[in-house]
Structure 1
Amino acid sequence: MNRIIGSRTFDFDRQVAVMAIINRTPDSFFDKGATFALDRAVDAALAAAAAGADWVDIGGVPFGRGDPVSLAEEIDRVVPVIAAIHARSDVVISVDTTNAEVARRSIEAGASVINDTSGFSDADMARVVSESSATLVITHSNGVPRSEPQSPQYDDVVAEVVDYLRARVELAEAAGIPRDRLVIDPGHDLNKNTLHTLEITRRLQEVAAIGLPTLAAVSNKDFIGEAIDREQGQRQSGSIAAAVICIMNGARIVRMHDVPAAVDAVRLTEAVLGFRQPAYARHNV
C-alpha cells in the first residue's frame, strides 16, 4: 500500500507513520496553550520532525467543548504555521480542521493532508480536497465539534464505525477523491465512552479491513486515563501502549504528543512485525 503524501512516500504494508500533534490553540486539552504562540508552534513542529516524526498535524480549534472560533481566527492560527513549516522542512503537514475554507487555505500554504475529525460534515470539504492533490482523513464522529458531549449509544460500536467509514469513503470517491488519497480514523473517544473506545482498539483489525491506511489518534485521551486511573500529564505510558496495540491490530499512522517515545515504540514494533531490520545486531552474534 504505497502512498505519496506531500514529498514523502510511505509503504503502509511495511511502515508506520508517526504524526506529531501541534496545537495552535489556547485551550488544548493536553498542552493548555504551550504552542499557541506562532514561533513556539513552528519550533515544536520542526523539533518533532527532527525527532523522527513523519508528519505534523496542525490544529487551530479543539474538537471538544468550548467557545466558537471564527473562520478568520482559525485561518490566522493555522495558515502561518503551515507556511513557515513548509518553507523549512519536507515533513508531511496536515491540518486538523472541519472547515472547507480553512482546508483550502491550508493546502495553498503547504498542507498535504486534511485531517477532518467530523467525517467531512462541511458540504464543501470533499470538493476542496478533490480539486487538490491532498489526502483526506475520514474520521468517525457523530457529534458536533465544540459542543457538549452527549451520552453515546451503540448496538455494536465497531460495526457501526465500519459502516459509517465505508459510507463516507464512497461519498468521497463519488466526489472525485481517489481511493489512494484517503485515510480512515475510527475516532477514538469521539462521541464514544471508554468502553466503546477500548472495544474499537481491541477490534481495530475490523476497521483496517476496509483496506485503507488506518490512523489511530490515541495519545493522552480520556479512555487511557479512565482505564488506568491516570490524570492528564500521567498518560504517556498508557498512550504508548495504546499506540502499539493499535499498530499490532492494523493501524499504520499513530497521532502522538510525545514524539521521541512514540518513534522508539513504533520503530521497535515495526522490527517485531518484521517490517524493518534491527539498527544493528551484535548481541550473541
Structure 2
Amino acid sequence: MGVLNTTPDSFSDGGSYYREGALNLGLALARAEQMVGEGAAIIDIGGESTRPGAAPVGEQEELERVVPLVEAIVAQLDVVVSVDTSTPAVITAAASAGAGMINDVRALERPGALAAAAATGLPVCLMHMQGQPQTMQRAPHYDDVVGEVRAYLQQRMQACAAAGIARQRILLDPGFGFGKTDAHNLALLRELQSLAPAGVPLLAGLSRKSMIGRLLQREVDQRLPGSLALALLAAQRGVRILRVHDVAATADVLRCLALVEG
C-alpha cells in the first residue's frame, strides 16, 4: 500500500504535491503512477494529517483534497484506491468516486462513520489509537498494551458486525505510533500474530515512523533501512498489507522473502 498524502503538513511527505499553496493534481497522479509501477497494489490517499500534534481539517477541505484525486486515479490506473479518512461525508463521496477501501485511524468511531462505511459495501481497516492526534503522544499508558489493543480491535469488529459490515470486509491495524511509546510499539511487533482473529488480515504502517528515528537516531530521510527491517519482520509475523512510502524498496524485500519461503 503506497502512501499518498494530499496534506501540507504530514510528517514525511506533507506538501510534496502542492504548488503555490494549492494541491497539484498532476503531481499527485504522477506519484500514484510511479508507485503502481514500483509494485503498489493499493494507493492510500489521506487528506488529513494524523501525525502527533496535527491540527484537525474541515470536512469541505478534506473532500477537496481527496475526491478529485480518487476520481483521477480510478480513471487512469489499474489499482485499488484506499481513502485514509474518519469523516462520514468523505467516506461516502470517496466510495461514489470509485474508492475500493476505507482506512480509518479512528476505527469508524466518529459519529456517522460506521453507518457511512456500512452503506458503501467496501472493505474497511480499523486502527487502534489511544487518544487523538493532537494529544496521543503525551505520556500514553497501558497496563497490557497487547491485550488492550487486541480487545479494542475485537470490540470494533463487533460494532461493525452489528452495523452490517461482514467479517470478510474487515482488516485490522494495531496503530504503531498512535498513542504508544517505543516500548509499546516493540511489544506489539513481537506479538503481531496474536492481535487478529484467524482469517482477518492485518495491516501495518511502520514506514519512516518516529520510533525508528528515536531508536536509531535517524532523521526522516535516513529511515529507509529501519523501515525495511520492520516491514520484513511484520511480513514474517503475518501482516498482509504494508503501508509504506518507499514502494520499490519494500517490494524488493517482499519478493526476497517470498523466494526464500518458496
Q: TM-score range by the shorter chain?
A: over 0.9
Q: Out of 168, 190, 204, which is 1:216 matched to?
A: 204
Q: In the TM superposition, what is the alpha-carbon distance from 1:146 to its structure 2 partner?
A: 4.0
The one-letter amino acid of 1:118's match is R
Structure 1, residues 213-259: CA drift from partner, whole Å, max 9, x if none?
10010000011111211111100010010011011111010000011
TM-score for both structures, normalised by structure 2: 0.94
The one-letter amino acid of 2:25's match is L
Match for residue 268 of structure 1? 256
Q: Distance in 2 between matches of 1:209 and 1:183?
A: 10
Q: Distance in 2 between matches of 1:52 and 1:179?
A: 27
Larger RCO (alpha carbons 8 Å, 6+ apart): 1
Match for residue 4 of structure 2? 22
Q: Out of 105, 121, 133, which is 1:133 matched to?
A: 121
More helix by share: 2
The one-letter amino acid of 2:11's match is F
Q: Give 5+ residue unaligned stretches, structure 1.
A: 1-18, 275-285
TM-score for both structures, normalised by structure 1: 0.87
Match for residue 21 of structure 2? none
**Conserved 8 A contact 1:126-1:175:** yes
Aligned residues: 256
Identity over aligned residues, as a percent? 39
Q: In the TM superposition, what is the alpha-carbon distance from 1:147 to its structure 2 partner?
A: 4.3
**Aligned-pair Cα RMSD in Å:** 1.3
Q: How does 1:166-177 map to 2 (within 5 A)?
A: 166-177=154-165
Query: Alpha carbons of 1:148 and 1:207: their partners in 2 closer, same or farther (altered >3 Å)?
Result: closer
Match for residue 32 of structure 1? 14
Q: Does 1:154 align with 2:151?
A: no
Q: In the TM superposition, what is the alpha-carbon distance from 1:271 to its structure 2 partner?
A: 2.3
Q: Does 1:56 align with 2:43?
A: yes
The one-letter amino acid of 1:175's match is A
Structure 1, residues 81-116: CA drift from partner, whole Å, max 9, x if none?
000000011201001111111111111111111100
**Conserved 8 A contact 2:6-2:14:** no
Q: Out of 241, 252, 259, which is 2:240 matched to?
A: 252
Q: How does 1:176-255 map to 2 (within 5 A)?
A: 176-255=164-243
Q: In the TM superposition, what is the alpha-carbon distance from 1:210 to its structure 2 partner?
A: 4.9
